[in-house]
Structure 1
Amino acid sequence: MTASLWALVGLPAMVGAVLLVSGRRADPVAAPCAVAAAGLALAAAGVAAVSRPSVSVPMLAGIPAGLAVDGLSAVAVLTVAAVATAVLLFASAEMGADQARGRFFGLMLLFTAAMLVTVTATDLFTLLAAWEVMGALSYALIGYWWGEASRVRSATLAFVTTRAGDLGLYLAAGAALAGGAGALQLSGLAALDGGWRDAAVAGVVVAALGKSAQLPFSFWLSHAMAGPTPVSALLHSATMVAAGGYLLVRIEPALAATAWAGPVLVWAGAATALLLGAVAFHQSDLKQLLAASTCSQLGFVVMAAGAGSVGGGMLQFTAHAAAKSLLFLCAGVWLAARGTQELDGLRGAARRRPLAGAAFTVGALAVAGLPPLPLWTAKDEVLAAVLHLGPAPYAVGLAASAVGAAYAARALAAVWSPVPAEEGGASPEGSEQRPPPSEALPLAALAAATVGLGVLVLPAAARWWRALLGAAGGPQPPAWEMAVSGLLAAVVLAATWWMCARGRAEAASGRRWAGGWLGLETAADTLVVRPVAALAQALAAFDDRVLARGVRACADGVTRTADLARSRGETGADEAVRAVASGARTLAAWALRPQTGLLHQYYVQAVVALVVLAAVVVLMR
């Protein structure tokens, strides 16, 4: 059933490429074509998840490149395709006819195809190619409104930061190639010799932390908010930002084969989950809050990879994708209605848009880790595995889950708070226009998925999930531990909501340290972005002043040589050719003279020729 695999990655790629190349001519049909392509890709993902196809083609001598769907990637492709379909359906109403829909939907489909290749890649070559395409397309999507300089700067900052981390993937590919051709397969990294294995794993870790916006790379996700809301919903949930965490879970055997990778990832994920959770709590902008919470939530996926909890990591990956895309789409609904992302400006937004309010509540409660929603189960499973590495990272992770409940409560309190009468609070709740189907269906579907994944808390469903992922036998949280974490989430959620409702949490939002993303942007701007920009400008100047001038000088030299050859050599050659032609014409004219057409003259000519021939014979004797 390799056709399902080709359809899975080929349909969105081909339709996206056609829409992108067609430009504004494709605007009228861009949205339905994109939604249809994504829907067919989702159907192909379902078939592939059951049939488990694989394809392989030669890349280098003895080194194949391929795609395959196993238990792990089956979950990933279904998640990516489902979220992409929902987001594109929502975007069909969100993106107006004046916003170059052909270019937008083309980029979104190509971005989705790159992510689908990333999660099904079996080797570092294929992974690296898809990784690069995804990064380049993220730059185009974040800076989609390229007419505004601030958005282009945000896209550049995000691109340069992730590219700095992506260099690790080149290190990993080089180390794997040096260690043996078989090691280019992701499943072969664990079998590398010690030194090459450590280098390859280190490269993958750096690239994954950069892509998933973990410390110290986290701040770039703040600038990714410059793109349209559907871009944020897709990029922050199931695609680019989630790709790093997924990759770490994919190579978990290689991480386990090293002595250092597991602890490093556990602490990196725990620190990101806690500190970026604090950043999320101190944001006054809803999209910035959701962006920081993405870093925090994906910290649990990174922890899972380091602790060897494949089942918990993939449940966190999937449940977070559903909940976070839901939250971003709700934010987009309110942004379109209110024209603001500020929490103060969104007071009562959930009351005016009941469907979006209910959907946002489901997503926020899931992110808070409230039972029986799936992120509660996922976090407890991850923390149970982390506890085997020591109580300290477990305590940090548990604190991070409590902070998650706090920032979820702050967002809920803002959108559900009553609107003062002077701001229009007297108008009836739910009085705004009914949402169109293209808005209502994605919200309802994602909310249902967020709630439905909670079934994995049941023992039978949990066993099936671990068997699907090949992760049977891992540490599982005891019932009392899950009860404690669920109670902690509920208490923190209620207490924070109460404090926010009475204005007691407002002062915290002004703290520069957390509200300013820990000062990471300033450090990165000084250490990475500005040096890279300066180097790019220097290389551009070198290109203009040295290389380009050299090329122009060579061209001028060739032109002058040609002119000289034409003025000197070609003139003499032309005269010689004309002389030869003139001589030929003269000989031809003499040759034509005897040709008179008179028979008696031909006889005379023959007699003369015979006399001359006889004279020659006599003389030669």
Structure 2
Amino acid sequence: MSGVLWALIALPLAAGTVLLLCGRRADRASAPAAVAVMLVALGLAVTAAYTEPAVRAALLSGLPAELSVDGLSGLLAVTVTAVTTLVLAFSATEFGPRESRGRFFGLILLFAGSMLVTVTAATLPVLLMGWEVMGATSWALIGYWWRDPERVRAANTAFMTTRTADLGLYLAAGAALAANPSGSLALSDLSGAGEPWRSLITAGLITAALGKSAQLPFSFWLSRAMAGPSPVSALLHSATMVIAGAYLLLRIEPLLEASGWGSTVVAWAGVVTAIALGLVAVAQTDLKQLLAASSCAQIGFMVLAAGVGGTTGGTLQLIAHAAAKSLLFLISGVWLTALGTKTLTGLYGAARRYRAVGVLFTVGALCLAGLPPLSLWAAKDVLLAAAFEEAPALYVAGLVAAVLSALYSAKALWFVWQPVPPAESVPDTEPGTRHVPSRALPPLAVLALACVALGVLAFGPTGAAVSRVLDAAEQPTPKIWEWLLSAALALGTAGAAWIWGNRRVPLPTVFSRLFGSWLHVEPAAQLFLVRPVLALAHAASWFDDRVLDAAVRGAGRGAVDLAHWSNHRLEAGVAGSVSRVAFASRSLGRLARRPQTGQLHQYLAQAVAALTVLALVFVFVK
């Protein structure tokens, strides 16, 4: 069945490349072609999840490329392909004829293919390839409307923030190679590395995962990513990119435990993010920003699950969150198109104006709030049971984050279900179409149905079957009081939030300023990281331009001057010496020619003179 896995990876990547190369020429056929490709990929993903194939191919000497499907990656592959298919089906009605549809759908397919590579990667080199392509295509999708400078800056911020964290993946790959010079970089073997390499691998992977999943301190990039089209937000921030980090942490859970410290760091990073970004979501006045902050908070639960060994609960949370959040993001796009606004005050009565969409939004928001019997309530209790077994403090912190989930979900519902205000009291907005395409409703209805139906995966024999599929260690089962406590907290908080809204009590100004601006993390990053790096870069540039270049130019001028001096002084002296030697040689030659007359009596006289001189020498010497 290896062909199924190769086809699952290659099909969206190849189709996306073709659509990108065709560009505008593929606009008419791009949407149906993309949906058809992902429907086939969905069938392949289901087949792969059932058969669990593995493939291996030559990559580098001693470093083969390996892909494999097990319980975790199989469930993720099905989730990715299913949500991508629904988002593509919705997007067919979202983009008008003036948009570059071929580019959009081509990028979506490339992005989905790279996510599938990331999910099925069995070795670090393959994981790096999928990770990098996923980051590049997310940058292109967030900045899809590239003529708007603000959107391009938002895409750059998201890309550079995640790229900074991605350096941890390279650190981990280098440490893994140093720990095992024979070349095996299989993810399943990382926990067996010796120290200090194991700690370096753990630190690198945790950093990369937290950055990709927008956990603190990297969360602010997800706020900027909201500048992209709503279908992009629905896909990137529900079932693909931002859950890639959480998936990686669930995948390397044995490494986190073997490190001795990784599990604790990951668990607390997740629960702190869930609480802090839950408060950020409560303070938002923009629906997409509220949903973005809630994505960070909900993914914090998945990260918490990875830290406490709650693989089953974390996976269920991931799948349920994918359905709920993609539904809510898509509906926010519907209202943005219809009403021309995404502010909560501008969405007064939106659910009353468009009843079908309002009901579907309510299902997604109630699921996000953790109300029973919807899927996120069930999934959250399963992972919180694992947290309770690990440390009661983590369980209490998780309950606080769950309460905040109910609070910000009820806030969103309160605004959209208010009576439709008079036209003169509506804030100025961009002109909307005042129309919701009927073809957009079926994908939304499927996602809403998933929010309701997926909860069954957490209960009884079905939950045990999921744990067996994941090959997870024995997972703690929530007790009755835990189910009841979480349900009571969610219902009570949602009711209190509704009453608070009806009384028109504003949030404290200090709270709104602190949490409404995403904890000022981006300005802090600019102050303590970006500006020092840029200052260092400018200093290095100045040193290069002023000092190094001046030194090089001075050395060059010195060499030229030395050449001129040597030419005028040394070479002239050498040439004079050579000339004098030649003159002396010629003079000696002329003198040597004089005795050579050719007359015998002169030769005899010369011989007599020479013998006489020799005789005198002998006489005087003795």
Equivalence for 1:51: 51
Equivalence for 2:388: 387
| Structure 2 SS opposite 1:59 | strand
Q: How does 1:498-509 map to 2 (within 5 A)?
A: 498-505=499-506
CA distance, structure 2, for counterparts of residue 253 and residue 7 of structure 1: 30
Report deviation, 1:59. 2.4
Contact kept, 8 Å, 1:273 with 1:298, in 2: the verdict is: yes
Name the amino acid aligned to 2:525. A
- Structure 2's unaligned 5+ residue stretches are 427-432, 553-622
Contact kept, 8 Å, 1:352 with 1:432, in 2: the verdict is: no
Name the amino acid aligned to 1:162. T
CA distance, structure 2, for counterparts of residue 68 and residue 540 of structure 1: 46
Contact kept, 8 Å, 2:406 with 2:494, in 1: the verdict is: yes
Equivalence for 2:516: 515
Report deviation, 1:478. 0.8
CA distance, structure 2, for counterparts of residue 14 and residue 543 of structure 1: 44
Q: How does 1:606-621 map to 2 (within 5 A)?
A: none
CA distance, structure 1, for counterparts of residue 47 and residue 541 of structure 2: 49
Name the amino acid aligned to 1:366. C
CA distance, structure 2, for counterparts of residue 268 and residue 506 of structure 1: 27
Report deviation, 1:138. 1.1
Q: How does 1:99-498 map to 2 (within 5 A)?
A: 99-180=99-180, 181=182, 183-422=184-423, 433=435, 435-437=437-439, 439-498=440-499
| Structure 2 SS opposite 1:58 | strand
Name the amino acid aligned to 1:143. G
CA distance, structure 2, for counterparts of residue 357 and residue 510 of structure 1: 29
Post-superposition Cα deviations, 1:352-396, rounded to whole Å, max 9, x if no partner, equal 112211111111111111111121122112212112332222211
Aligned CA distance change for structure 1 residues 295 and 246 (closer, same or farther; 3 Å): same
| Structure 2 SS opposite 1:93 | coil
CA distance, structure 2, for counterparts of residue 223 and residue 543 of structure 1: 34
Report deviation, 1:535. 6.7
Contact kept, 8 Å, 2:34 with 2:105, in 1: the verdict is: yes
Post-superposition Cα deviations, 1:510-567, rounded to whole Å, max 9, x if no partner, equal 72100000010101122334455667788999999999xx9xxxxxxxxxxxxxxxxx
Contact kept, 8 Å, 2:12 with 2:38, in 1: the verdict is: yes
Aligned CA distance change for structure 1 residues 150 and 433 (closer, same or farther; 3 Å): closer
CA distance, structure 2, for counterparts of residue 353 and residue 169 of structure 1: 46
CA distance, structure 1, for counterparts of residue 459 and residue 146 of structure 2: 48
CA distance, structure 1, for counterparts of residue 18 and residue 423 of structure 2: 50
CA distance, structure 2, for counterparts of residue 190 and residue 525 of structure 1: 36
Equivalence for 2:570: none
CA distance, structure 2, for counterparts of residue 25 and residue 539 of structure 1: 47
| Structure 1 SS opposite 2:64 | strand
Contact kept, 8 Å, 2:382 with 2:458, in 1: the verdict is: no
Aligned CA distance change for structure 1 residues 510 and 351 (closer, same or farther; 3 Å): farther
| Structure 1 SS opposite 2:98 | coil
Name the amino acid aligned to 2:392. P
Q: Which moved more, 1:18-27 or 1:389-398?
A: 389-398
CA distance, structure 1, for counterparts of residue 251 and residue 172 of structure 2: 15
Equivalence for 2:560: none
CA distance, structure 2, for counterparts of residue 135 and residue 396 of structure 1: 32
Post-superposition Cα deviations, 1:178-201, rounded to whole Å, max 9, x if no partner, equal 111465100001111131111101
Contact kept, 8 Å, 1:417 with 1:501, in 2: the verdict is: no
Equivalence for 1:612: none
Aligned CA distance change for structure 1 residues 423 and 540 (closer, same or farther; 3 Å): farther
Equivalence for 1:14: 14
| Structure 1 SS opposite 2:457 | helix
CA distance, structure 2, for counterparts of residue 151 and residue 386 of structure 1: 39
Name the amino acid aligned to 1:178. A
Paired positions, count: 542
Name the amino acid aligned to 1:436. S
Q: Which moved more, 1:520-529 or 1:337-346?
A: 520-529
CA distance, structure 1, for counterparts of residue 386 and residue 516 of structure 2: 31
Equivalence for 1:79: 79
- Same amino acid, percent of matched pairs: 55
Report deviation, 1:14. 0.8
Report deviation, 1:205. 0.3
TM-score normalised to the size of structure 2?
A: 0.84
Report deviation, 1:3. 2.0
Aligned CA distance change for structure 1 residues 306 and 81 (closer, same or farther; 3 Å): same
1:34 aligns with 2:38: no
Post-superposition Cα deviations, 1:469-489, rounded to whole Å, max 9, x if no partner, equal 111412222111111011100
Post-superposition Cα deviations, 1:234-258, rounded to whole Å, max 9, x if no partner, equal 0100111000000000011111112
CA distance, structure 1, for counterparts of residue 141 and residue 350 of structure 2: 27
Name the amino acid aligned to 1:152. V
Post-superposition Cα deviations, 1:186-236, rounded to whole Å, max 9, x if no partner, equal 000111113111110110000000000000000110000011111100010
CA distance, structure 1, for counterparts of residue 424 and residue 209 of structure 2: 45
Equivalence for 2:64: 64
Contact kept, 8 Å, 2:316 with 2:458, in 1: the verdict is: no
Contact kept, 8 Å, 1:215 with 1:272, in 2: the verdict is: yes
Contact kept, 8 Å, 1:282 with 1:514, in 2: the verdict is: yes
Contact kept, 8 Å, 1:182 with 1:188, in 2: the verdict is: no
Report deviation, 1:159. 0.9
| Structure 2 SS opposite 1:184 | coil
| Structure 1 SS opposite 2:66 | strand
Q: Which moved more, 1:250-259 or 1:530-539?
A: 530-539
Post-superposition Cα deviations, 1:378-430, rounded to whole Å, max 9, x if no partner, equal 211221211233222221111000000000000000111111234599xxxxx
Contact kept, 8 Å, 1:124 with 1:184, in 2: the verdict is: yes
CA distance, structure 2, for counterparts of residue 533 and residue 364 of structure 1: 42
CA distance, structure 2, for counterparts of residue 358 and residue 532 of structure 1: 49
- Structure 1's unaligned 5+ residue stretches are 426-430, 551-621
CA distance, structure 2, for counterparts of residue 542 and residue 126 of structure 1: 39
Aligned CA distance change for structure 1 residues 416 and 508 (closer, same or farther; 3 Å): farther
Aligned CA distance change for structure 1 residues 500 and 508 (closer, same or farther; 3 Å): farther
CA distance, structure 2, for counterparts of residue 247 and residue 532 of structure 1: 29
Q: Which moved more, 1:524-533 or 1:315-324?
A: 524-533
Name the amino acid aligned to 1:313. G
Report deviation, 1:135. 0.8
CA distance, structure 1, for counterparts of residue 545 and residue 417 of structure 2: 57
Aligned CA distance change for structure 1 residues 56 and 544 (closer, same or farther; 3 Å): farther
| Structure 2 SS opposite 1:94 | coil
Aligned CA distance change for structure 1 residues 221 and 340 (closer, same or farther; 3 Å): same
Name the amino acid aligned to 1:189. L
Q: How does 1:511-590 map to 2 (within 5 A)?
A: 511-531=512-532
CA distance, structure 2, for counterparts of residue 29 and residue 527 of structure 1: 48
CA distance, structure 1, for counterparts of residue 234 and residue 292 of structure 2: 10
* Structure number with bigger Rg: 2
Aligned CA distance change for structure 1 residues 508 and 448 (closer, same or farther; 3 Å): farther
Aligned CA distance change for structure 1 residues 535 and 41 (closer, same or farther; 3 Å): farther
